[in-house]
Chains A and B, each alone.
Chain A
């Protein structure tokens, strides 16, 4: 056991405070808009806190440090693209401003505004399925982090992760977005402190020059230049560019933060400032991974990368960073860092629970009721359905998340599963907002061909993630163009829909 009593006290105090503060949000929830988008009352800085906390989890630290460990400095290119694209989207308001003007609560809701109710339901199903499966790998990876860092016996892993998920579920189900925003604030501050502490430790103990030398020795120029790196190259960089544009504009949990802001102008400011945080969100953990490679990368080679060797035990690259923390951090500091990581875990999971369950309740259940001719639900019943969906998603994750292991590098797996629905959704949203000719037939084709483009090459033809990502975006675009030119012209001009 690596934890001292003081470390446990810090962690338990944080957990108790987080749940208590989260439950306090309950008194501000009166209707669905309060529950899902916090009454659209987010200001710039609390918006930055909640957006950053939502997209920075232990899973983020784990997969980014794994990338740094496996691919060296060349991996930083992915983080650079994510941050720069976010700043660009924030500065220009590309997609996000127009979506915010529509006063939506979910991304698939736009598909009914522009296309049709049927396409909204199909998109809702694809978004919820892809999103929940994407989130499905979080618990196991986060559990690994906790086990390796704290030295907790692995037989306590499942009960511990279930307990943490249930704590998140309690305040998310009761207080919705209001509780999530309050806890995100606390969690963001804590996770940032942990990030800064780990970065200082990593650089101090590994040393910049040693990091550069080790990467050069193991990988040569491909450890620095992403264009010549075998796993990356130009196709990877262009795919990342498209992927991050689609994530920052159409990823449900990010979009919900944009929908929760006071105005389109505030949403642009939130996106811009969070873009700078996104640079650190990716680059700093990648640096930790390189530090772990220097300090512990002395095990047998696997796919050209040395396994981590910690106290005689061989570990996979993804476990190298938490193993490094367990060895470097002193008593007390370890408790603060793990509390910070738990904060990151809880902020992501609670937001994702809310995001995906919102899609099920708003974009699948509610439109299906309308299609079957049933009367709209009252505010109270709608809130209840949202809470039930929340609980169901949480329970599914407990079973799926703890038993499923993703193949290969986690970052790339998450990217490709996200692409299944993001390619079609992004093409449909951009086409719908900026191209008058986009129609329902084009929308259906884009969603279906985008999904096929990611699934068939990657899972059946075993092509690379970059190739599959390209195919997905390419086919989705072709689908929208062909369907829109062949099908009937849409009746209403886009400007009227945006102003509606």
Chain B
């Protein structure tokens, strides 16, 4: 049983540490991804609007 206690103890430490670590990375780099997504979606929507104007002329 002692082996199981150590096994679960180790996994709990790994899961807690990776959860906290990835949260920090996501908070930092996720924001940059979000801005890039807005830029691309905005450009895509602008192109679509110009396309519609072009067709109507």
Binding site for B on A (CB under 8 A): 28, 30-31, 34, 38-39, 41-49, 52, 73, 76, 79-80, 83, 178, 181-182, 185, 188-189, 192-193, 195-196, 199, 208, 212, 216, 221, 224-225, 273, 276-277, 279-281, 283-284, 287
CA distance A280 to B17 in the complex (A): 9
Binding site for A on B (CB under 8 A): 1, 4-5, 8-9, 11-12, 14-16, 18-20, 22-23, 25-27, 29-34, 36-38, 40-42, 44-45, 48
Q: Which residue of A lies closest to B19 (CB)?
A: A280
- Interchain residue pairs A-B with the least CB separation, the first 10: A280-B19, A43-B33, A46-B33, A279-B15, A224-B4, A45-B29, A192-B23, A45-B30, A276-B18, A28-B41
Are the C-beta atoms of A42 and B45 separated by less than 8 Å?
no
For B26, the chain A residues whose CB sits under 8 A away are: 45, 48-49, 52, 188-189
Are the C-beta atoms of B8 and A42 separated by less than 8 Å?
no
With A41-B41, A196-B20, A224-B5 known as contacts, the answer to whether A287 contacts B12 (CB < 8 A) is yes
| Interface of chain B: mostly helix, strand, loop or mixed | helix
What are 29 residue pairs bridging A and B, where the CB atoms are less than 8 Å apart in the complex?
A28-B38, A28-B45, A38-B37, A39-B40, A39-B44, A41-B40, A42-B33, A45-B25, A45-B26, A45-B29, A48-B26, A73-B4, A80-B11, A185-B34, A188-B30, A189-B23, A192-B23, A193-B23, A195-B19, A199-B16, A221-B4, A224-B1, A225-B4, A273-B22, A279-B11, A279-B15, A279-B19, A280-B15, A283-B12
For B9, the chain A residues whose CB sits under 8 A away are: 208
Closest CB in chain B relative to A33 CB, distance in Å: 9
Q: Which residue of A lies closest to B38 (CB)?
A: A28
For A178, the chain B residues whose CB sits under 8 A away are: 41
For A212, the chain B residues whose CB sits under 8 A away are: 5
For A273, the chain B residues whose CB sits under 8 A away are: 22
Other than the known A43-B32, A76-B12, what 8 A-B pairs have Cβ atoms closer than 8 Å? Answer: A39-B41, A76-B11, A79-B15, A185-B34, A196-B19, A277-B18, A279-B18, A284-B19
Closest CB in chain A relative to B55 CB, distance in Å: 14
Closest CB in chain A relative to B6 CB, distance in Å: 10
Are the C-beta atoms of B41 and A34 separated by less than 8 Å?
yes
Closest CB in chain A relative to B4 CB, distance in Å: 4
Closest CB in chain B relative to A47 CB, distance in Å: 8
CA distance A73 to B1 in the complex (A): 11
Q: Which residue of A lies closest to B24 (CB)?
A: A192
Closest CB in chain B relative to A79 CB, distance in Å: 8
Which has the most chain B C-beta neighbours within 10 Å: A45, A79, A182, A199?
A: A45
For B11, the chain A residues whose CB sits under 8 A away are: 76, 80, 279, 283
Q: Which residue of B lies closest to A280 (CB)?
A: B19
Closest CB in chain B relative to A52 CB, distance in Å: 8
Closest CB in chain B relative to A76 CB, distance in Å: 5
Closest CB in chain B relative to A17 CB, distance in Å: 15
CA distance A31 to B49 in the complex (A): 12
Q: Which residue of A lies closest to B29 (CB)?
A: A45
Closest CB in chain A relative to B17 CB, distance in Å: 9
Are the C-beta atoms of A221 and B1 separated by less than 8 Å?
yes
Closest CB in chain B relative to A277 CB, distance in Å: 6
For A280, the chain B residues whose CB sits under 8 A away are: 15-16, 18-19
